[in-house]
Amino acid sequence: MCRSIKTLRPPVLPDEATEDDIHAAALQYVRKVSGFRAPAEHNREVFEQAVEEIADATQRLLDGLEIRGARPPRERSAASDAA
């Protein structure tokens, strides 16, 4: 596992993961798996496509997880709005 990819689910993160958090994790994953920090021009399209697909899959995963003891998303957002 790439050490710079952080856990994105509650309660590890105090709030829900942002789009930037998810994209950064996907980018780190693709970098680790491909072995390239930045792809050559001829690999850029497939590299960026992989990042987007992994970010989408990550968002679906996070949206579908049920975390015991965590408040449902509506309750979390209502609590942060009240603060």
Chain segment 40-61, per-residue pLDDT in tens:
999 999 999 999 999 999 999 9
User: In the predicted model, is pLDDT for residue 2 greater than 80?
Assistant: no
**Type of residue found at 75:** E
User: In the predicted model, is pLDDT for residue 26 greater than 90?
Assistant: yes
User: Looking at residue 16, what is its pLDDT?
Assistant: 86
User: In the predicted model, is pLDDT for residue 73 greater than 60?
Assistant: no
Q: What are phi and psi of 3, to 5 degrees?
A: -70, -20
For the whole prediction, is pTM greater than 0.85?
no
Average pLDDT, the chain: 84
- How many helices and strands, by DSSP H and E, does the chain display? 3, 0
